[in-house]
Amino acid sequence: MDDNKKTGGWFTEAVLNTFFKEWVWNTFCVKWFWKSFCVNLVYKKFDKWKAWIYLVPAIVLLLVFTVWPIINTVRIAFLDGYSILGEVGGETYSFGISNFLDVLDEYSGFGEALKNTLWLTFITVPLSTILALIIAVCLNSIKPLQKFLQTIFFLPYVTNSIAIGMVFEAMFNIVGLGTSDPSFGIINNILGVFGLDPINWININSSYWANMAVMIIYIVWNALPFKILILLGGLQSVNKQYYDAAKIDSTPRIRVFTRITVPLLSPMIAYVVITGFIGGFKEYSSIVGIFGDDMQAVGTEHTLNTMVGYIYDALGNNEGRASAAALILFAIIFVVTMINLRVSKKKTHY
Amino acid sequence: MANQATMHEKDLQKVTSSQRVVSILVKTLLYAFLSLMALIVVFPFYWMIISSLKSITEYRLPIPTLFPKEIIWHNYIEAFSAANLDRLFLNTVYVGVVSTLLSLVITVLCAFAFARLEFKGKNALFAALLGTMMIPGELFTITNFITVNNFGWIDTYTVLIVPFLVSIFYIYLLRQNFLQIPNELYLAAKVDGTSDLKYLWKVMIPLSLPTLISITILKMMGAWNSYVWPRLVTTSEEMRLITNGLRDAFTDMSGQANVPVQMAAVAIVSFPLFLVFLFLRKYIMKGVSRSGIKG
């Protein structure tokens, strides 16, 4: 019975398998499935997925070099004393905030870097913005030579900040030190024409503020073209009717400037100030251009390091501290930008 | 009535004649101010070029000459060898060209997807990408430095090219341009059975050529001016880029350095940028005025 049953079982199974199941499967299921699969995938589903094929290269690179860094930098900022060499060596790190404490420690040099950065930013941004605004307004009110002068003012934008930093270094540097007849350099020569005493800008025993002045002059010089471009673009799109109305009322020029030009230009001014602050807090390569990698004038005690310079110094031996400093930098930029936005929202007239 | 009209004209003349004096005065002041500022802006370039052509003895004269008495072209040859500029120049061109080409392909595809194709979460993804633009680059640099170390990419061209291929700013710029192209063109191409890629190649790219040129220039300038990243991720001098060579070759700040040769090297590095400025200025200005990004 059992055998019979078994054989019967086997038989029916074989019949089912070979003749019925496969046949039904082949004729109906597979064909239907295949058809719907093709239709769906190629004409409908594929359309949805097609976009991702275009996006894949960008997304992969962004995941590796943009998204992962955000996560990882925050992670290692909170790993005590993390360094890449240590991790390769199999060291493990515990979570904590000691990196931040290290950064804020008075001997780590972060305080000086922060001080330098703040001075540079809060001096150069207002200075370059006001200067750019004056130049843009002047440019806008002349006709002949306007295009020519505009081109000249844009020239510093298309430069290599390290290369031109070296030119500034040469201009402020003493010429021919150690020779029989050293001179004070071209800038001091020009100052001498106006009867001013030469200043020790960047040489041995130069003062902190002399060094700072050189950096400020260079940074402002470098920041002008972008600001003039934006502000002049804004001025040229201002409705001429406001100025005609002021002319009829014979409004003085100063009043026209403060009551019409500045308010109408306020969105552009806000934009220029915000990008200026962000750029100022990230100041680094222009200082390398003038003073070299050491971020210090030769023969002086004070460092001219900035926050970005501090991060790069820590990178390579103490990535945890570099990450903590980068997060602090981000926080500062974020707060200052938010304050800027809040202020400009109140003061901006659209 | 007639009397009134003449009075009015007289008044008008009086006002204009007194105003004319003021306006001429103001115009003179304007031009004087602008010329002075322009002089200050141009002076470093002028000083760089004339210093690079002076002999060292002439450069060291106590009263500097404003034009070289004798033009010394040899400074440029010396600068090339002193800073190893030929090798670094080729490096920079190679890195610049390859990264620009790859970056353009990736940016075009990505911008096309964001501008024309429909997919789930498109707007959310785009907003997230724009959000990352707020984060300072140094934050990425730290982990990227670790990542390329783990990949074993140190001292290769790959490390100089790959991490910066995707720029969200370029994607944004190009997407805005693609969106300006009417959608009807795309639908018409679909009806005719044109494939997306062909449409992209034949319609979208030619129509947004100015933006693509802007991106190319900014990207090339980025390679030309990059300093920090190559210094971090290369250990041998031969793999660095031109700006590194320039800074590293001339570190003597004591005032005894051979400044004319140094200025010649600076001029060599600046010269291609001047050419770009002369011929492609409007593309840069267009790209720049829509962003705050340098290079």
Residue in the structure block whose two tokens are 């081109």: A151
Q: What is the pLDDT of residue A5?
A: 43
- B124 and B158, same domain (yes or no): yes
* Closest CA relative to residue B60, chosen from A87, A259, A181: A181
Quick one: three-class SS letters along A64-100? HHHHHHHHHHHHHHCECCCCHHHHHCCCCCCECCHHH
State residue B102's pLDDT score: 95
Indicate whether A189 and A284 sit together in one domain.
Answer: yes
For residue B227, count CB atoms less than 10 angstroms from its CB and return exposed for 0-12, middle for 13-18, buried for 19 or more. buried
pLDDT digits 0-9 by tens, A78-98: 988 888 777 777 777 888 888
Q: What is the mean pLDDT of chain A?
A: 83
Query: Does A10 reside within a domain?
Result: yes
Does A22 fall in a domain?
yes
Query: Residue A343 is which amino acid?
Result: V
Q: What value does the mean pLDDT take over residues A328-335? A: 92
Residue B119 maps to a domain: yes
Closest-CA residue of chain B to A230:
B289
CB-CB neighbors (< 8 A) of A85 in chain B? none
Average pLDDT score over residue span B8-20: 67
Q: Are residues A156 and A16 in the same domain?
A: no
Q: A299 in the Ramachandran plot: left (φ > 0), alpha (ψ -120 to 50) or beta?
A: left
- The region of weakest confidence among A63-72, A87-96, B10-19 is B10-19
B181: in domain: yes
DSSP β-bridge partners for residue A175:
A183
* Number of structural domains chain B divides into: 2
Whether the pLDDT of residue B181 is over 80: the answer is: yes
Distance (Å, whole) CA B155 – CA B240: 9
Give me the helix-helix angle, B2-52 and A208-236, nearest 10°: 140
- The reply to whether residue A229 touches residue B285, judged by beta carbons under 8 angstroms, is yes
Q: Rounded distance, CA B184 to CA B79, Å?
A: 57
Q: pLDDT at position A121, please?
A: 95
CB B235 within 8 A of CB B249: no
The CA R_g of chain A, rounded to the nearest whole Å, is 33
One-character DSSP codes across B149-194 = HHHT-TTSHHHHHGGGS--HHHHHHHHHHHHHS-HHHHHHHHHTT-
Are both B18 and B156 inside the same structural domain? Answer: no
Residue A273: which pLDDT band, with cuts at 50, 70 and 90? very high
Q: Which two tokens stand for residue A231?
A: 């502000």
ipTM of this model? 0.86
* Domain shared by B189 and B262, yes or no: yes
What confidence tier does B144 reach under pLDDT thresholds 50, 70, 90? very high
State whether B23 and B168 are in the same domain.
no
Stretch B206-232: mean pLDDT, rounded?
A: 90
**pLDDT tens column, A129-152:** 999 999 999 998 888 888 899 999
Residue A292 resides in a domain: yes
pLDDT above 90 (res B47) = yes
Q: What is the pLDDT of residue B295?
A: 33
Residue A88 belongs to a domain = no
Q: By CB neighbour count within 10 A (0-12 exposed, 13-18 middle, 19+ buried), where does A18 fall?
A: exposed
Task: Identify the three-state secondary structure at position A183.
Answer: strand
- The stretch A288-292 carries a mean pLDDT of 90
Inter-residue contact A268 to A233 (CB < 8 Å): yes
Helices B85-116, B74-82: crossing angle, 10 deg rounding: 70
Residue A318 placed within a domain: yes
Task: Please give the biggest Cα pair distance in chain B.
Answer: 93
Confidence of residue A46 (pLDDT cuts 50, 70, 90): low
B88 in the same domain as B32: no
Q: For residue B191, what pLDDT band results from cuts at 50, 70 and 90?
A: confident
- The top-scoring range by mean pLDDT among A312-326, B32-46, B143-157, B233-247 is B32-46
Tokens 């030769």 correspond to what residue? A298
CA distance B89 to B247: 14
Residue B81 placed within a domain:
yes
What CATH number has the domain bearing residue A244?
1.10.3720.10
Q: What percent of chain A clears pLDDT 90, i.e. is strictly above it?
A: 36
The reply to whether A260 and A315 lie within a common domain is: yes
Q: Please choose, from the candidates A122, A118, A120, A124, the residue with its C-alpha nearest in 3D space to the C-alpha of residue A329.
A: A118
User: Number of A:B CB contacts under 8 A?
Assistant: 269
Cα of A311 to nearest chain B Cα, Å: 8
Average pLDDT over residues B226-238: 89
For the purposes of burial, counting CB atoms within 10 Å of the CB of A265, is it exposed (0-12), middle (13-18) or buried (19 or more)? buried
Task: Check whether residue A278 and residue A192 sit in a common domain.
Answer: yes
Domain end residue (candidates: A77, A109, A129): A77
What is the rounded average pLDDT of the residues B63-69? 83
Instruction: Pick the residue from chain B with its C-alpha nearest to A286.
Output: B227
Q: Would you say residue A20 has pLDDT above 60?
A: no
Nearest-5° Cα angle at A254, A250 to A256: 55
Phi-psi region of A252 (alpha: psi -120 to 50; beta: other; left: phi over 0): beta
Give the tokens for residue B144.
Answer: 């990227």
Domain residues for the domain of B144 are: 76-288
Q: Would you state the torsion angle of the CA atoms of residues A111, A114, A116, A117, taken in this order, to the nearest 10 degrees? A: 170
Lowest mean pLDDT among A22-31, A84-93, A216-225: A22-31
When pLDDT is cut at 50, 70 and 90, the band that residue A47 belongs to is: low
Cα–Cα distances (Å) from B98 to B94, B108, B160, in that order, read 6, 16, 10
The answer on B109 and B10 residing in a single domain is no
pLDDT band at A7 (very low <50, low <70, confident <90, very high): very low
pLDDT at A10 (0 to 100): 54
**Which uninterrupted H or E stretch holds A38?**
helix A31-38
Name residues 180-199 of chain B within 8 A of A (Cβ).
196
Percent of chain A with pLDDT over 70: 84
Same domain, B112 and B258: yes
DSSP reduced 3-state for A105: coil
B95 and B45 belong to one structural domain: no
Looking at the structure, tell me whether residues A160 and A212 fall in a common domain: yes
Please indicate, yes or no, if residue B57 is contained in any of the structural domains: no
Amino acid identity of residue B11, one-letter, is D
- Judging contacts by C-beta atoms under 8 Å, the chain A residues touching residue B223 are none
Answer yes or no: is B294 within a domain. Answer: no
Are B237 and B94 in a shared domain?
yes
Name every chain A residue with its beta carbon within 8 A of the beta carbon of B107. Answer: 58
Residue A84, CA atoms < 13 Å, CB-side half-sphere:
18
Partners of residue A297 in chain B, C-beta under 8 Å? 253
Q: What are the φ/ψ torsions at residue B63 (nearest 5 degrees)?
A: -105, 105
From A65, A174, A292, residue closest to B140, measured CB to CB: A65
Q: How many residues does chain B have?
A: 295
How close is the nearest chain B Cα to the Cα of A233, in Å? 8
Nearest-by-CA chain B residue for A149: B38
Tell me whether residue B64 is in a domain.
no
Best mutation site among A159, A168, A217 for testing chain B: the one with the most B CBs within 10 Å? Answer: A159
DSSP reduced 3-state for A316: coil
The SS3 of residue B250 is: coil
In a domain, A93, yes or no: no
Query: What DSSP line would sit under B209-234, residue for residue?
Result: HHHHHHHHHHHHHHHHH--HHHHHH-
**What residues of chain A lie within 8 A of the CB of B110, using their CB?**
54-55, 57-58
**Judgement on whether residues A320 and A175 belong to the same structural domain of the protein:** yes
What's the count of helices (H) and strands (E) in chain A, helices before strands? 18, 0
- Number of domains, chain A: 2
- Does residue A185 belong to any structural domain of this protein? yes
Q: What is the pLDDT of residues A100-116, one digit of tens each?
A: 988 888 778 899 999 99
Closest CA of chain A from B156, distance in Å: 17
For residue B155, pLDDT beyond 80: yes
**CA distance to partner chain A, nearest, from residue B3 (Å):** 23
* Shared domain check, A305 and A254: yes
Is A221 inside a domain boundary?
yes
Q: Look up the CATH number of the domain holding residue B193.
A: 1.10.3720.10
Q: Would you state the pLDDT for residue A39?
A: 56
CA distance A106 to chain B (A): 22
* Interface contact B282, partner A, CB < 8 A: no
Please check whether residues B87 and B161 belong to one and the same domain.
yes
Query: Per-residue pLDDT tens for A291-303?
Result: 988 888 887 888 8
Q: Find the range with the poorest average confidence among A75-84, A265-274, B100-109, B283-292.
A: B283-292
Q: How far is CA A111 from CA A97, A103, A117, A118, A139, in A?
A: 18, 9, 10, 10, 41
Give the model confidence (pLDDT) of B73-126 as tens digits.
888 988 888 878 888 999 999 999 999 999 999 999 999 999 988 888 888 999
pLDDT computed for residue A3 by the predictor = 43
Mean pLDDT of chain B: 85
Pair B14, B155 in one domain:
no
Q: Do the domain assignments include residue B13?
A: yes
The residue range of the domain holding A47 is 2-77
* A200 & A308 share domain: yes
d(CA A55, CA A197): 62
Q: Is B263 on the interface with A (CB under 8 A)?
A: yes
> Where among A77, A111, A133 does a domain terminate?
A77
Rounded to an integer, what is the distance from CA A257 to the centroid of its chain? 32
Q: Is A220 helix (H, G, I), strand (E, B) or coil?
A: helix
Q: A3 is written with which tokens? A: 């055998």
Taking the CA of residue A346 and the nearest CA in chain B, the distance in Å comes to 22
The yes-or-no verdict on residue A6 having pLDDT over 80 is: no
